[in-house]
Structure 1
Amino acid sequence: MQTPDRRPRHFSMIREFHLADFFTLANAACGVLALFFSMQYLIGGRIEDFYLSAAMAPAAFAFDVLDGRIARWRNRHSSLGRELDSLADVISFGVAPAVLAFAAGMQGNGDMIALVYFVCCGVSRLARYNVTAESMSGDSGKVAYFEGTPIPTSVVLTGILAFAAWQGRIGDQLYGGQWQLGPLALHPLVLMFVLSGTLMISKTLRIPKL
């Protein structure tokens, strides 16, 4: 009868991580920090917290680029790494920009529907990518193109919100004011999130992967 292995396994999962995976976790950490800074801004109203939240997006983008480069450099690709990357991207480029938009003043019921749509599009786009990544890969194992815009393109949205904050155009001064469409209160600026989400789930838009 075989004796069960009773050796400690406290660090067994960490042993499975490759170098690139730690950069992916740094991406996720930036996304979580962005959420915290947005909440601090909502609580205290310090514009510095708003800027810090927005700044986490390009930081997360840098880590997102680096993890892919390192994985290719070391020729270490894994299903775990791909899932980690998607989960980190959902936080940093999906949930965090939506929460920053809410902090910027897009707080009407129509705004919230639009922001939920944006996040759901991002989640759907990443799930589709994970399922189809192998079939879209060439002999090199690298995906040749993206179907729909990649979710990290939402860094542009956070940049627009940071610029609006710098001009004092957030809160009641948000660009375009507010529309009242029957029972829905909606800021027209939130439509850029609707457009971004729609482009992410497009199957006709193909973007070469560099």
Structure 2
Amino acid sequence: MTTESQQKREPRHFSMIRTFSPADFVTLGNAFSGAGAILAQMQFLATGQPRWLWLAFGLMPLAFILDALDGRLARWRFQSSPLGADLDSLADVISFGVAPAALAFSVGLRGALDVVVLLYFVGCGVSRLARFNVTAATLSDGTGKVKYFEGTPIPTSLALVLVLAILFWKGLTGEALPFGVWDIGSFQFHPLVLMYLASGSAMISKTLRIPKF
């Protein structure tokens, strides 16, 4: 027979679905958009049909819109969620970290050294989000709003996606990528991938401070 003291010590069941706020469902939409973009890219590589890559490009701005809306919705309803910050970070890793890196691979940045840079970019995105979650409290003002970002926010990777979309539209992919390909020993390297190196490094920078509006 369970005593009253034992009942008090039992952990309360965490109901995930009941904990979700409307803003959390918008955040999931962000994650679905990023994951959908990755799956569309895989379909493009499997079939060679350009419409799939255009779908991937189109889902990226949708992810950005949903990422911007979730916070506004939470503030508008004055309803915070214990899952909100973690959900947002995980969704952003998919949509603005993994998906842009996969897009680069899809358009032809597939050399061994290209892949190293793309993995570095994803690692920087993950690290940047983790740092933000840890330091958000100390960077916020009296209202709880963060005053500035340390390093560029991960959604700035949409600029890379825009560059790739323009190149794809002009047929400058694969062997036609700008700046060509360099053979470094037995490895291949496309200089174009350096924009991912620069973007990743900017995300983890301590000296860059971007005001948050």
TM-score normalised according to structure 1 size: 0.94
Q: Which residue of 1 aligns with 2:145?
A: 142
5 Å-filtered alignment, 1:27-38, equals: 27-38=30-41
Q: Using the alignment, how far apart are the partners of 1:26 and 1:13 within structure 2?
A: 17
The yes-or-no answer on 1:130 pairing with 2:133 is: yes
For residue 174 of structure 1, what is the amino acid of its counterpart? L
5 Å-filtered alignment, 1:13-92, equals: 13-92=16-95
1:58-113 Cα distance to aligned partner (Å, 9 max, x none): 00000000001111112223441000000000000000010110010000001000
Q: Using the alignment, how far apart are the partners of 1:183 and 1:142 within structure 2?
A: 50
Q: Using the alignment, how far apart are the partners of 2:65 and 2:38 within structure 1?
A: 18
- CA apart distance, 1:43: 0.5
Residues matched between the structures, number: 205
The yes-or-no answer on 1:174 pairing with 2:174 is: no
Q: Over aligned residues, Cα RMSD in angstroms? A: 1.5
Q: Using the alignment, how far apart are the partners of 1:40 and 1:80 within structure 2?
A: 32
1:99-151 Cα distance to aligned partner (Å, 9 max, x none): 11001000000100000000000000000000001111111111010000000
Q: Which residue of 1 aligns with 2:10?
A: none
Q: Runs of 4 or more off by more than 4 Å in structure 1? A: none
Q: What is the SS of the residue equivalent to 1:60?
A: helix
Q: Which residue of 2 aligns with 1:118?
A: 121
Q: What is the SS of the residue equivalent to 2:83?
A: helix
For structure 2, the residue ranges without an aligned partner over 5 or more in a row are 8-12
Q: Which residue of 1 aligns with 2:102?
A: 99
The structure with the largest alpha-carbon Rg is 2
Q: What is the SS of the residue equivalent to 1:149?
A: coil
Q: Which of the residues 189, 202, 208 maps onto 2:205? A: 202
User: More deviation in 71-80 or 22-31?
Assistant: 71-80
User: More deviation in 90-99 or 66-75?
Assistant: 66-75
Q: State percent identity of aligned pairs.
A: 56
For residue 67 of structure 1, what is the amino acid of its counterpart? D
Q: Using the alignment, how far apart are the partners of 2:187 and 2:60 within structure 1?
A: 29
Q: Using the alignment, how far apart are the partners of 1:97 and 1:36 within structure 2?
A: 12
Q: Using the alignment, how far apart are the partners of 1:168 and 1:96 within structure 2?
A: 21
Residues 193 and 89 of structure 1: CA distance in aligned 2, closer, same or farther (over 3 Å): same
Q: Using the alignment, how far apart are the partners of 1:79 and 1:136 within structure 2?
A: 19
